[in-house]
Structure 1
Amino acid sequence: MTGALFKVILSQVAVHATMAGVRLAAPLLALKQGYSAASVGVLLALFALTQVFLALPAGRFADRHGLRRPFFIGMLMASTGCAAAMLLPTFPMMCFAALCTGGGSGIVVIAVQRHVGRATHEPAQLKKLFSWLAIGPAIANFIGPFFAGLLIDHATFGDDPVSGYRVAFGLMALSPVLAWLWVRTTRETPPAPRLPEHGGQRAWDLLNDPTFRTVLIVNWLQSASWDVHTFVLPLLGHERGMSASVIGTLLGLFAVAATVVRLLMPLISDRLREGAVIAGAMAATACLFMVYPFTQSALTMGICSVLLGFSLGSVQPMVMSMLHQITPQHRQGEALGLRLMVINASSVAMPMLFGAAGGVIGISALFWSVGVAVSCGVKAAWGIRVPEEGEERMQQLPR
Structure 2
Amino acid sequence: MSDRSPRAAAWRVRPSAAKITSSPISSWAASAPSKPRRAGSLSEEPPPADATVTAGAAPTADPRQILWRNNALQILSTVAWYVVAPFIPLYLAVQGAPAGVIGAIIGFSGVVPLLIALHAGALVDERGPALVTQAAVILYAVGGVMLTALHAVWPAATAYALMGIANIGWAVASQSVVAAASTPATRVRNYGYYSLWNSAGAIVGPVLGGFVIGHFGYRTAFALVWVLMIPSLPIAGRLPGASAAPRRPLSLAMAPRLVQTILRERGVGAVLFISFIVVCAQTLQQTFYPLYLNTVGLSPTLIGIVIAAISLGSMVVRSLLSRGVDRFGYAALLNGATALLAVTLGITPLLRQFWPLVAVSALMGASLGFTQPLTMSLMVESVAAELCGVALGIRQGVQRLGAILSPMVFGVVTTAFRIEWAFFLGCAALLGAVPIIASVTGHLGAPQRPGHTPLPVPTSAPGASSRSD
Q: Same fold (TM over 0.5)?
A: yes
Letter in 2 for 1:127: V
Matched, 1:373 2:426: no
Distance 2:149 2:303 in 1: 35
Residue aligning to 2:141: 79
Distance 2:293 2:147 in 1: 34
Between stretches 306-315 and 354-363, larger displacement belongs to: 354-363
| SS of alignment partner, residue 378 of structure 2 | helix
TM-score (norm 2): 0.68
Q: What is the aligned residue count? A: 379
Q: Equivalences for 1:384-395 in 2 at 5 Å?
A: 384-386=444-446, 388-389=448-449
Matched, 1:173 2:229: no
Q: CA deviation at 1:58?
A: 0.7
Q: CA deviation at 1:102?
A: 1.5
- CA-based RMSD of the aligned residues comes to 3.8
Q: CA deviation at 1:154?
A: 4.5
Distance 1:391 1:285 in 2: 37
Letter in 1 for 2:230: V
Residue aligning to 2:84: 22
| SS of alignment partner, residue 106 of structure 2 | helix
| SS of alignment partner, residue 201 of structure 1 | helix
Matched, 1:192 2:251: no
Pick the aligned partner of 2:320 from 264, 280, 291: 264
Residue aligning to 2:258: 202
| SS of alignment partner, residue 142 of structure 1 | helix
Q: 1:62 to 1:307 in 2, by over 3 A?
A: same
Distance 1:99 1:19 in 2: 12
Residue aligning to 2:236: 183
Matched, 1:63 2:125: yes
Q: CA deviation at 1:130?
A: 0.8
Q: 1:14 to 1:46 in 2, by over 3 A?
A: farther
Pick the aligned partner of 1:115 from 166, 171, 177: 177
Letter in 2 for 1:137: N
Between stretches 361-370 and 322-331, larger displacement belongs to: 361-370
Distance 1:182 1:301 in 2: 37
Matched, 1:347 2:409: no
Residue aligning to 1:312: 368
Q: CA deviation at 1:35?
A: 4.2
Distance 1:233 1:22 in 2: 14
Between stretches 292-301 and 258-267, larger displacement belongs to: 292-301
8 Å contact from structure 2 (residues 125, 250) kept in 1: no
8 Å contact from structure 1 (residues 16, 105) kept in 2: no
Residue aligning to 2:200: 139
1:12-53 residue CA offsets vs partner (Å, 9 max, x unmatched) = 221233233233565555444444444444443354333212
Runs (5+) with no aligned partner, structure 1: 156-163, 393-399
Q: CA deviation at 1:227?
A: 4.1
Q: CA deviation at 1:357?
A: 5.6
Distance 2:90 2:427 in 1: 29
Runs (5+) with no aligned partner, structure 2: 1-62, 453-469
Distance 1:91 1:365 in 2: 28
Identity between Structure 1 and Structure 2 (%): 21
Q: CA deviation at 1:146?
A: 3.4
Q: Which has the higher helix share?
A: 1
Q: CA deviation at 1:254?
A: 4.0
Between stretches 368-377 and 43-52, larger displacement belongs to: 43-52
Matched, 1:277 2:339: no
Distance 1:297 1:88 in 2: 34
Matched, 1:382 2:435: no
